[in-house]
Structure 1
Amino acid sequence: MANGSLATRTLLGRPIGEFYGYRVAGVFQNAAEVAASAQKATAKPGDFKYEDLNNDGIIDGKDRTPLGNPNPKFNFGLNSSFAYKNFDLAIDIQGVAGVDVYNANPSRRYGNENFTKDFFDNRWHGEGTSNTYPSVQIGSSTNAAPNSFFVENGSYVRLRNIQLGYTLPAALLSKWKAQRIRIFANAQNPINIFKYKGFSPEVGRQEGVDYSPTSRGIDANVYPLYATYNLGVNVTF
């Protein structure tokens, strides 16, 4: 579900839980465009202009079409460690490719919540201002219906963890009666590379969202990952 509407479907021979909805052809710029369209009964300037895929002059459920695949084509990772003299390095890299995410967050803005800077800067706010982003009335009209605007590239590469350590030479340890002293610096999630406009394309469990295989990849308020940095000392006596 996305803003109360079904945003996915599962059919034999198609991807499980593929995103499904209307394909956006632009944004209505003025009342004349609305009056000449198949959406004249419901739309207004600043609303999404949907494609009439079956050319019957009506925008309805028959015009819905596959929009994206929440199942990644590739999952990859690298977990390795290196050592040189007294130094050691451990890294953990993980990512996915060939996957889509349904960013339902803009459609959940009903007027009291904040919009992202990207949406605010690019929103339609008068004729000619945007043919891609709708007006801020996105959450209270047919703009919120599942559509291609909300489907984004969910591929990412993330440096999950990196740790650099240095073990003090044995000659120093005899003075302190220690067997081993290792100093290290560690970072979790310090580098995240993705094009997704939400906080994180890695959509985990969210309250009130169905996470069955037929309803995955919907971002309805994913919290951003935070980076953690720390220093430490391991002492063995």
Structure 2
Amino acid sequence: MEFNANIATNSNKVLELAPGQQQIIAGTDGNFVTRVGGSIAELSGYNVTGVYKNQDDINKTPHLTGTVVGDYIVEDLNNDGVIDQKDQKIFGTYNPNFTYGFGSTFFYKNFELSFSFNGIEGRKIYDRAASSQDESGEGFGVPNKYYFDNRYHPVDNPNGFLAQPNMGNFSSARKLTRSSNLFYKDADYLRLRTLQLSYNIPQQVLSKLKITNARVYVTANNLLTITKYRGFNPDATSPDNILTNGYSYTNYPVARSFILGLSLTF
């Protein structure tokens, strides 16, 4: 048997920007922040703690301007009685805390079985598809099952924790909460990258055919990904802009492939 493993970590810190500049705000919703002293493309936003289920609760608590029943409750982080940009905080970045991998090969007579896993821990992704369509409750979007099962509705689902479906225009408050913990997804995963079973044809068979070595194998790539992320791909990001690293929208899933092969040496 053979075994191998690896682990790596990487961090970054912004030391300086343009003269007089302390931060760069980027992204469709202005929720990626690169600032002096922080990491590149930190996810900034509100901390949502629930859903308003009646007007009286809205009237009694600090809330975003334009909040209506069925919108989100936002935490007043600085306790000043007002919900504004001062109540936004950093939730993490696409850059993981560490990456790791391991693999092994088993031998039995002429058979070989090998596999390799890789994974990441501590990654955050902004799921733009969820914030604007899949889990937003907007009337023109087609929601996913997770949103349908967990949406708030005063009759059909009074214990729901996602905002109430809205078939008209969204409130300004609902749009602002696109930049919140609800849509900053944990994108940790463990993936079975390769799995291969092979058979080495015996030399007594090959000598008659004047072949030095022959191996038949079947390989599966990306066979399994274990993750809590509900999107297509926990590696999704915007590859063309480092300032929005971790922006996931219309990204393709990782392809799964199967290969049957024969390797010959003459």
Distance (Å, rounded) in 1 between the aligned partners of 2:96 and 2:140 = 34
Deviations 1:9-38 (CA, angstroms, capped at 9, x unpaired): 123332332211111121111222223333
Matches within 5 A, 1:1-237: 1=26, 4-39=28-63, 41-109=65-133, 110-126=138-154, 129-130=158-159, 132-137=161-166, 140-141=170-171, 142-145=173-176, 146-205=179-238, 211-212=241-242, 214-237=243-266
CA RMSD of aligned residues (A): 2.6
TM-score (norm 1): 0.85
CA contact (8 A) 1:173 1:181 kept: yes
**Structure 2 letter corresponding to 1:114:** V
Quickly say closer, same or farther: Cα 1:84–1:205, change in 2 above 3 A. farther
Deviation at 1:192, TM superposition (A): 0.6
TM-score (norm 2): 0.76
CA contact (8 A) 1:101 1:151 kept: yes
Distance (Å, rounded) in 2 between the aligned partners of 1:106 and 1:136 = 14
What stretches of structure 2 of length at least 5 have no aligned partner? 1-25
Deviation at 1:42, TM superposition (A): 0.5
Distance (Å, rounded) in 1 between the aligned partners of 2:208 and 2:144 = 58
Distance (Å, rounded) in 2 between the aligned partners of 1:41 and 1:33 = 14
Quickly say closer, same or farther: Cα 1:96–1:41, change in 2 above 3 A. closer
More contact order relative to length (CA 8 Å, sep ≥ 6):
1
2:205 partner SS: helix
**Structure 1 letter corresponding to 2:202:** P
